[in-house]
Chain A
Amino acid sequence: MRIGKIIAMALAATMMASTAFAGAVYDKVMQDKKIRIGIMTDSIPGAFFDAKGEWTGFDYDISTELAKRIGVEIERVKVNNKTRIAFIQQGRIDVSVANMTHTRERDKSIDFSITYFFDGQKVLSKKGAFASLADMKDKKIATMQGTTSEINIKNALKALGVANPDEHIISFQKESECFQALEMGRVAGWTTDATILLGYAAKKPGAFELVGDFLSDEPYGMGLPQDDSALRDAVNAALQDMWRDGTYMNIYNKWYGPETPYAMPMTNQIELWP
């Protein structure tokens, strides 16, 4: 009897849970007056904890601005490169602003905003050690597991005539681990998006440099739940407004301007719809 009751309660709870999350995400955001945005914790200068232990960074500022423009309160949720897509799929967050390259494979699972940041993949190595990726093809290269960088570097090595690229790649779980492996000389280079590399290289000025050409373009999009066009429109409009009135460039220059340790000139522009 008691077991029957527990089962019935569990079933009821399950049913309630499934109805509670059926509504469109945009409606829910506007109703709660709160948008849940996923941000990284150890991507410098994208989103990280500063010396005072406070969350800050480019993505942090962009997401704050985004919530302001949509006119709702922001709730920041910590994500990493493993959870940033799963959290959107499961409805734990409404938007992810987390160094995510817009790819077609990812587009099968979630939706993306227009490109809000233009990055490209490069290789970081000790200063003066190598001139190009070709010099490194007999050495080990670090990257992060499950990223587009991992696939790109394997293809690049294959194009350079390396028979078994898997043997030359060490895939870590976190960016900081890649950097430490580079620092202690376990790997000759660390490859991922250039901004991330610059962020870490700035920790030890003059010790590291970017090598060779861009391996790929990495257009960053904000991750959005699949098939929720109202939310996608709102996010896209907010991004374009930010660009139009100069707020975007203010934030950009705060983190990537010429005076910053992560200086990277802006060479592109956000797509604008009339």
Chain B
Amino acid sequence: MIRFWLEKVWVQNTVLLAIAAIMTYYWGWVFDFGYKFEWSMLYTVNETYQVNLGLEILKGLWVTVKITAISAAIGLGLGTVLGLSRLSDFKPLRYTATCIIEFFRNTPLLVVLFFFYFAFPRALPDAAREWIFSFHFEFWTAAVAVGMYTSAFMAEVIRAGLQSIPKGILEAAYSSGLSYVQVLRKIILPLAFREIIPPLGSEFLNNMKNTSLAMFVGVADMTWQAQQAEALTFKGFEATTAASVMYLSFSLIISFVLNGVNGKLRTVGNTNRSLPVLFVSLFYLPFSVASSALFNPVGRFLRARRRQRAASTYVSARQAALRMVAKRAAQAAILAGKAAFLLLLGSCLYVTIKGLITFDWAAIVTEFSHLIIWQFPHEEADPFLGMGGFTLSFIIAVVAIAASFLIGLVVGLGRCSNNRIFRIPSLLYIELIRGNPLIIVIYWVYFLIPVLFNTFFNTVWSASIALTLFTAAYLAEIVRGGIQNIPPGQVEAATASGLTYWQTMRKIILPQALKQMIPPIVGLFIAIFKDTSLVSILGVMELTSVAKAVDNRLMVASMEIWTTTALLYFIPCFLMSKYAAALERKLSPEKVNLKM
């Protein structure tokens, strides 16, 4: 009976509207917040400070947009170079690229940023330092650090895309006599491009959200301005909401463009006339006109000439000699390039080893236990007995992933459901969280829980809740991906044989989907472990905070402390990522492919 009614769309809409109305009524009129909302702070001039704080937040948005654009360009450029280097035959280049990628993938962005800002200039000679300081050093550090961090993720996407070409196609191409360059141009790149664009898009989105960390080196981006508004007026809830709405809109715009690009790239039955596609086509119009008016005739001419040349087999002695010289020169240039690269690598290694020898190892040895457990168990007042550092980071990450698993599973199932009552709230939840940087989510939980529930938690729990909510949204998307990968025929077969929805899910879909989901979940755990570095903003004594406290006390061993901290993040993350990769290979051996 209930099911009959629930399948009607108008019933679903009514239920959703009713829930929304009840929530609005309850929090709008019944519930006593014990907090005075002052939304006017966002559009009026503050009397004490004579500034319009809403305008300041908009200025922050402009800085965020600039950093996003620059870091995305750096990320894409460097990511392509790194991704191609990783497939190179030249081993030193391949290993260097691998090292760089693994370093950035397994170290928190915050630590990378601090390293670039505080440690890097000290390694430079005075004149060079003065020179880089004469630019907007904060802005450029943030843009370059975020860009390099993004590049490592993009490099992996590009590499995976290039390697994703099915073995059979490559074999067919090679056996039909195409050269490597031809295979690359005609087969690999066009196919890989379609494979690469969608995940690359989500990296662009992550990149935008990562720019929120720029505030840690004093760049007045949007998060910074929201915090400034909070610090000046103590109206954190309003300021965070404003920033959150902006980030969400920015994310939605980026997603809109990406959807358009994806739609345009779809080759099968490309009659896609959706709004995003039309929008992108509009931008593409000048290029397509130029291409049909200019490039196509030129291309035709060049092709004709090449064909003509290929037809005549006659080569004069002079031509042959020239070709020989050109070939030798190219070989020599490649060799020289390789030698120069080795030289550069060698000098980098020399500097690193020299630096390592002068390290104050005694400081690392004495402070190591602090970095691992902080004051445990010497502080009775603290509910965690002074537990901190690496251990606390790990505990927060474990709590977040465990708690988010259930939420993620439920929301992910809801997102795949046909029933709007489940699908729309799940969709809202996922997009709301994924559209915001983690730091904004942390602030939301921190300001929202006291306002909404009139109570508070220890900051460690507050941080864990924020991370859980954040992780759950990403997990839900992994769940959705896993479920949608199961061939629809299986669901039809299950339904036809009389299984109910829950039976189908429990016995057929989830066991298969969960197996596929294990590698991305391990990846997510790595991300969460790294992201715990952000909760230092709430004063939780996790690894980054502890490193800062220790560094601050010693003042003479910054390099030592931060290198140790980076390693403490890197080693577990690296081992886990290796484990995830091994697991992926074991679970889907068909992906192991031919050398290209």
In the assembled complex, A72 has its CB within 8 A of some CB on chain B: no
In the assembled complex, B121 has its CB within 8 A of some CB on chain A: yes
Checking A145, A185, A186 against B227 with a beta-carbon cut-off of 8 angstroms, the contacting residue is A145
- Asked whether B552 lies within 8 Å of A170 as measured between CB atoms, the reply is no
The segment out of B81-89, B214-222, B522-530 that lies at the interface is: B214-222
Q: In the complex, which residues of chain B have a beta carbon less than 8 angstroms from the beta carbon of A179?
A: 555
Nearest CB in chain A to that of B59: its residue: A166
> Given the interface contacts A76-B381, A186-B133, does A50 sit within 8 Å of B553 by beta carbon?
yes
- Asked whether A145 lies within 8 Å of B224 as measured between CB atoms, the reply is yes
Q: In the complex, which residues of chain B have a beta carbon less than 8 angstroms from the beta carbon of A142?
A: 218
The secondary-structure label for the interface of chain B is: helix
Task: Flag A205-219 by CB within 8 Å of B: 1 or 0 each.
Answer: 000000000000000
- Asked whether B549 lies within 8 Å of A80 as measured between CB atoms, the reply is no
Q: In the complex, which residues of chain A have a beta carbon less than 8 angstroms from the beta carbon of B381?
A: 75-76
> Given the interface contacts A14-B453, A48-B553, A86-B236, does A173 sit within 8 Å of B231 by beta carbon?
no
In the bound assembly, the distance between CA atoms of A204 and B456 in angstroms comes to 41
Task: Flag B177-219 by CB within 8 Å of A: 1 or 0 each.
Answer: 0000000000000000000000000000000000000011110
The segment out of B155-163, B496-504, B535-543 that lies at the interface is: B535-543
Task: Flag A146-170 by CB within 8 Å of B: 1 or 0 each.
Answer: 1100010000000000000010001
Those of B219-256 within 8 Å (CB) of chain A: 220, 224, 227-228, 230-234, 236
- Asked whether B551 lies within 8 Å of A176 as measured between CB atoms, the reply is yes
> Given the interface contacts A42-B552, A50-B553, does A166 sit within 8 Å of B234 by beta carbon?
no
- Asked whether A89 lies within 8 Å of B227 as measured between CB atoms, the reply is no
Residue from B215, B228, B381, B537 having most chain A Cβ neighbours under 10 A: B381
Number of A-B contacts (CB under 8 A): 110
Q: In the complex, which residues of chain A have a beta carbon less than 8 angstroms from the beta carbon of B537?
A: 82, 173
In the bound assembly, the distance between CA atoms of A185 and B130 in angstroms comes to 8
- Asked whether A104 lies within 8 Å of B137 as measured between CB atoms, the reply is no
**How distant is B196 from chain A, measured CB to nearest CB, in Å?**
37
Checking A48, A78, A105 against B539 with a beta-carbon cut-off of 8 angstroms, the contacting residue is A78
Checking A41, A81, A86 against B234 with a beta-carbon cut-off of 8 angstroms, the contacting residue is A86
In the bound assembly, the distance between CA atoms of A105 and B130 in angstroms comes to 39
The secondary-structure label for the interface of chain A is: mixed
In the bound assembly, the distance between CA atoms of A250 and B216 in angstroms comes to 38
**How distant is A200 from chain B, measured CB to nearest CB, in Å?**
8
- Asked whether A146 lies within 8 Å of B228 as measured between CB atoms, the reply is yes
- Asked whether A17 lies within 8 Å of B455 as measured between CB atoms, the reply is yes
**How distant is A193 from chain B, measured CB to nearest CB, in Å?**
16
In the bound assembly, the distance between CA atoms of A105 and B53 in angstroms comes to 15
In the assembled complex, B138 has its CB within 8 A of some CB on chain A: yes
> Given the interface contacts A18-B34, A145-B231, A176-B551, does A184 sit within 8 Å of B121 by beta carbon?
yes
Q: In the complex, which residues of chain B have a beta carbon less than 8 angstroms from the beta carbon of A14?
A: 453-455
> Nearest 7 A-B pairs (CB), nearest first?
A146-B231, A17-B455, A176-B552, A18-B454, A170-B218, A90-B450, A109-B234
Chain A interfacial positions (CB closer than 8 Å to B): 13-14, 17-18, 20-21, 41-42, 48-51, 53, 75-76, 78-83, 85-86, 89-92, 104-106, 108-109, 142, 145-147, 151, 166, 170-174, 176-177, 179-181, 184-186, 203-204
In the complex, besides A82-B539, A186-B137, 19 extra interface pairs with C-beta distance below 8 angstroms are A14-B453, A18-B32, A20-B455, A75-B381, A76-B381, A85-B234, A86-B234, A89-B234, A106-B234, A145-B231, A147-B231, A170-B138, A170-B218, A171-B218, A171-B228, A172-B218, A176-B552, A186-B121, A203-B555
